[in-house]
């Protein structure tokens, strides 16, 4: 057991394989004797998470129908529903492993603004989330937008994790439908990654001149594990804070 727990988040645009990599990392951590609390946001079990999924399914109209501030607050309330649970788990020396967390809000809702409005909105979002436990490490799965679009199409065909869309009959939610938004989200993540040491950048493709090939799930997992194991061994993640 760790002296104090760790909060590890897997982030990335839609279709980058976050859940797959989070599941593999959970299994590896547990095999190595760590107690892992696994979570995903928004959470379908909270009242606020349920509203978010209704929003994503388009029940309230297109993406710009409701104020962005309201949508962000719903996401944030979903996260705050777990504040006490996460704080206790960290005190108990457990590892919290999340598929999406605070940085998702900054990347997605922040990308709906531009210029100084965007800067002010992001600062406000960070202040709202400042009383939540902050991530020790943020694994960012990066994929070029054109590759990501192909993966989203395959995801539609397989029907993975699409329960919330059944009522609407759609194959994509209102965020996934916005191709230009996906690239803005990616750029937001890249900007955060360049500014914060907590980010662990994982390039999900191999590039050889004009040839782009997606790396295997196993290869990506091995890189994630090497970096997480190294950070744990070096005890660089043993402190967590609530700002």
Write out pLDDT tens, residues 138-188.
Answer: 999 999 877 766 665 555 545 556 688 887 778 789 988 888 898 999 999
Name the band, by pLDDT with cuts 50, 70 and 90, for residue 239: very low
Provide the domain count of the chain.
1
Q: For residue 242, what pLDDT is reported?
A: 36
Supply the range of the domain harboring residue 35.
Answer: 6-233
Using H for helix, E for strand and C for coil, what is the string for 152-218? HHHHHHHCCCCHHHCCCCCCCCCCCCCHHHHHHHHHHHHHHHHHCCCEEEEECEEEECCEEEECCHH
The span from the CA of 188 to the CA of 178, in Å, is 15
Q: Is residue 243 part of a domain?
A: no
Q: Is residue 1 part of a domain?
A: no
Name the band, by pLDDT with cuts 50, 70 and 90, for residue 235: low
Q: Is residue 239 part of a domain?
A: no
Give me the residues paired with residue 40 across strands: 99
Average pLDDT over residues 39-54: 96
CATH number at residue 139: 3.40.50.300
E runs forming strands in 17-150: 36-40, 95-99, 137-142
Percent of the chain scored above 70 by pLDDT? 87
Q: For residue 236, what pLDDT is reported?
A: 47
Strands 211-214 and 205-208: antiparallel
82, 133 contact by CB (below 8 A): no
Q: Is residue 12 part of a domain?
A: yes
pLDDT top residue among 18 and 14: 18
E strand or H helix at 108, and its extent?
helix 102-108
């Amino acid at each position: 057991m760790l002296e104090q727990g760790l909060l590890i988040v897997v982030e990335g645009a839609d279709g980058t394989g976050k859940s797959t990599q989070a599941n593999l990392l959970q299994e590896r951590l547990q095999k190595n004797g760590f107690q892992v609390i696994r979570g995903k946001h928004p959470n379908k079990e909270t009242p606020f998470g349920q509203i978010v999924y209704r929003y994503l399914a388009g029940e309230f109209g297109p993406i710009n129908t409701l104020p962005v501030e309201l949508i962000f607050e719903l996401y944030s309330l979903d996260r705050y529903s777990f504040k006490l649970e996460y704080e206790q788990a960290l005190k108990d020396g457990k590892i919290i492993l999340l598929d999406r967390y605070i940085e998702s809000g900054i990347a997605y809702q922040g990308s709906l603004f531009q210029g100084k409005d965007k800067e002010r909105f992001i600062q406000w979002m960070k202040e709202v989330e400042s009383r939540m436990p902050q991530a020790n490490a943020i694994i960012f799965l990066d994929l070029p937008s054109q590759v990501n679009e192909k993966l989203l199409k395959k995801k539609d065909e397989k029907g993975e994790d699409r329960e919330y869309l059944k009522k609407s009959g759609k194959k994509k939610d209102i965020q996934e439908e916005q191709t230009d938004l996906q690239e803005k989200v990616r750029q937001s993540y890249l900007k955060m990654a360049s500014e914060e040491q907590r980010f662990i950048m994982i390039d999900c493709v191999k590039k050889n001149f004009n040839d782009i090939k997606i790396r295997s799930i196993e290869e990506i997992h091995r890189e994630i594990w090497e970096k997480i194991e190294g950070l744990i061994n070096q005890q660089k993640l043993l402190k967590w804070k609530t700002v």
